[in-house]
Amino acid sequence: MAVVVGDDKPHVVCIPSPAQSHIKAMLKLAKLLHFKGFHITFVNTEFNHNRFLKSLGPNSLDGLPDFRFKTICDGLPPSDENATQDIIALCESLRDKLLAPLIDLLTRLSDTSPPITRIVSDGFFPVTLTAGEQLGIPVVLFYPIPACAFMGLKQFSTIVEKLGPPPVLGYFDAISSMFPKLFSVGPLQLLLNRVPEDPLKPVKYSLWKEESQCLQWLDTKEPNSVVYVNFGSITVMSSLQLVEFGMGLANSKHHFLWIIRPDLVRGESAILPPEFVNETKGRGLVASWCPQEEVLNHSSIGGFLTHSGWNSTIESLSSGVPMLCWPFFETNRQIVDILARNGA
């Protein structure tokens, strides 16, 4: 493989949507591009940049001379730094308020060496197309979702009428007819596993502080004996649903590792009843966040109770862990409409 060095490196600006799963997928892609010889500038919102520094440490985003991190303002008022931002407000801000700060950042980056040769943007951040057009920078859109989900957003109002229920593999062919320059990439982590002596391996992906002690707890368990439970970064549930899941784990009699984010329960603290505590004493561990891929690759994990997020699905499949699925996304028509417009 030819490696490009010095100022001749193509310079790619990677811009994810400001959500945990989208940042993680884009950062993996950026690492792979860096390995192939690209100079990378990775752009987070100031809010998420500060969350990374808090969860991973003050030097966690130092990067390398040819892999650097920059920020833009998300246009939202201050909010809880340990909670996911309001999705509707965030989507609207991405669409309506970020063009000017993005153009300002790209203009400043264009005056550096090497010059920007391309933008790789999350497909849910379409304002980058406008910015790229104004500045004469080509833009490639990266969608960290399955083809069927993209088709659902693209054809939100007509998909059932026009296509019926085609097989999942048919979606990629259907999308190819609309977008000839279409590429399926991944699984990203399996590609990263092939990178020898990756200098960016210390660069992590989590907006919450990971409790890595759970790995030592897993070391004490038999192979395939632990149920791993994690509903991802944006799922919210009622306190009743939390208790139902908890008592289900209690009644299963299995060992379990359950990730309960600080903002998992809608508008309340996550409180489990005394019966759950008594019933699960000695066979369960509850943590606020964890290094998921390391957990899924641990020999003690026998199954994964998941919200079916695309990152979690791909990571579980890549680790060979069977899934018990509780598909979740905020079933708010306004959110779906905004995502459909942003993903267009």
Instruction: Kindly state the tokens that stand for 259.
Output: 């990730």
Is there a contact between 137 and 127 (Cβ–Cβ < 8 Å)? no
* CA dihedral sign, ordered 101, 134, 15, 333: positive
Nearest to 121 by CA among 135, 111, 113: 135
Q: 174 vs 163, 167, 180, 292, 339, CA distance in Å?
A: 9, 11, 10, 33, 20
Task: Give the number of other CB atoms < 10 A from CB of residue 281.
Answer: 9
Is there a contact between 279 and 250 (Cβ–Cβ < 8 Å)? yes
| Cis peptide preceding 187, ω within 30 of 0 | yes
Nearest to 209 by CA among 20, 17, 16: 20
Task: Give the number of other CB atoms < 10 A from CB of residue 133.
Answer: 11
Catalytic residue annotation: 22, 122
Q: 220 vs 216, 258, 273, 278, 300, CA distance in Å?
A: 7, 16, 26, 21, 9
